[in-house]
Amino acid sequence: MAEEYLVTPKQPPALNIPQSSNTVKVSCIDSTTRMKLSMSPFLQPDFTGHPDLLGPAFSFLIEHPSRKPILFDLAVRKDFDKLPSYPAFVKNKWEINVDKDTATILKENGVDVDGGAIDAIIWSHHHWDHVGDASTFPGSTELVIGPGFKEAYMPGYPKREDSTLLETDFEGRNVREVDFTKEAGGLKIGRFNALDYFGDGSFYLLDTPGHSVGHICGLARTSTDPDTFIFMGGDASHHGGEFRPTEYLPLPKEIKPSPLKRRAPVCPGHLLQDIHPHGSATKPFYNVTKSFAHDKEVADWTIDGLGEFDAHKNVLLLVAHDDAVIDPPQIDFFPKTLNDWYEKGVGEKVKWLFLGDFEVAVEAKEKGGEAFSWGTYP
């Protein structure tokens, strides 16, 4: 039975992903990172009862059948107090807990990190909660970065005193900056410039600017017949409410499973529309602030593009800090793979779980109070 929505959804734009019979194995690594940061400076409006941006930080292991594995992002390094930006963490009273580096997690599960088992590390962008500690990998492991990265952020500290990165991440290894104009041959997937990383249609890098200079995402083909994909969103978005709902994926009339604990097992969709800042069933709940984006206009354009991918049922979109899919886990984490996500119905199961963050706001609205307020951040 087709899902019923509060309004009739529009057909999402075609993604135009090239045909291929090749896939990669994808594992989502729970890096042990847990963060709690004040929401207001990053996303608006302020919803009653949800003042903090909570979340993990994911790394992805991508295994090609005839090549060495690669990693997409490294999450947060265990000794993050060594970062040049650490004083800002203290000043902002951010709560950050990390038990293990990603390299340690891989080693504990039989990956010969020190022996050069990982061919490359891809950084979605330069922020501390994604770059991890590349120095825990040997010099044979290449570092892949997005366009404009070297000029904007290299060299690392202390060679460049204002850098937020450490020079130890770059020392002794090849650092390759992707040039989508020269390397991609005009390929576009969805609205984004794309690069066929292995040259066989199994894994793509997507040029997703706005949040920072050189931000890139990953798109992995996880099965054929049907074609299914995992979109690794990095920080192109930080919360499901930034790109859901849309005109292509409106709020359902009934949300199952219910994201609101007191509305189990089914939640009426109108309860969430009632607390929406625009009373909409087709616009996202959150906006990114100017202070949280390198270029807000471009960041908004990229987020809109995420919504187009997300509306396709054969795409599982996972952003790096998706609090809705962890604690308790809603997906299979490393050392298990995620390739069977589609046949398990994972996409439909997790798509609306982020709405659970608005439970207190729903209750406040029902009692005649305010569900949200606008902060002072533009």
pLDDT tens digits along 79-126: 999 999 999 999 999 999 999 999 999 999 999 999 999 999 999 999
Strands 58-63 and 46-47: unpaired
Q: What is the mean pLDDT of the chain?
A: 96
- Mean pLDDT, residues 214-219: 98
Cα–Cα distance for residue pair 162/185, rounded to 1 Å: 35
Q: Hey, what are 337's tokens?
A: 């793979």
The answer, yes or no, to whether residue 1 has pLDDT greater than 50, is no
The answer, yes or no, to whether residue 57 has pLDDT greater than 50, is yes
Q: Hey, what are 222's tokens?
A: 């996880």
Local confidence band at 264 (pLDDT 50, 70, 90 cut-offs):
confident
Would the CA dihedral through 253, 255, 259, 260 be positive or negative?
positive
pLDDT tens digits along 182-195: 887 889 999 999 99
pLDDT tens digits along 342-378: 999 999 999 999 999 999 999 999 999 999 999 888 7
Cα dist from 318 to 60, 177, 269, whole Å = 10, 24, 23
- Mean pLDDT, residues 215-225: 97
Q: pLDDT at position 2, please?
A: 58
Place of tokens 């604690």: 327
Q: Residue 108: helix, strand or coil by DSSP?
A: helix
- Mean pLDDT, residues 308-317: 98
Would the CA dihedral through 280, 281, 286, 290 be positive or negative?
negative
Cα–Cα distance for residue pair 371/191, rounded to 1 Å: 34
Q: Where are the alpha helices (DSSP H) in the chain?
A: 86-91, 102-108, 128-131, 149-153, 180-183, 270-275, 296-310, 346-350, 359-366
pLDDT tens digits along 225-245: 999 999 999 999 999 999 999
For 251-283, letters b (16+ CB in 10 Å) and e give bbebbeebbbeeeeeebbbebbbebbbeebbbb
Half-sphere exposure of 294 (CA within 13 A, CB side): 18
Any idea which of 7-21, 172-186, 205-219, 268-282 has the lowest mean pLDDT? 172-186
Query: Quick one: which of 175, 173, 171, 199 has its CA closest to 185?
Result: 199
Look at phi and psi of residue 55 and say left if phi exceeds 0, alpha if psi is from -120 to 50, else beta.
Answer: left
Q: pLDDT at position 378, please?
A: 73
Question: Of the CATH numbers 3.40.30.10, 3.60.15.10, 3.40.50.620, 3.50.50.60, which one belongs to the domain with range 25-373?
Answer: 3.60.15.10
Q: Quickly count: other Cβ atoms within 10 Å of residue 25's Cβ.
A: 16
Cα–Cα distance for residue pair 60/24, rounded to 1 Å: 12
- Mean pLDDT, residues 127-145: 98
HEC per residue, 316-329: EEECCCCHHHCCCC
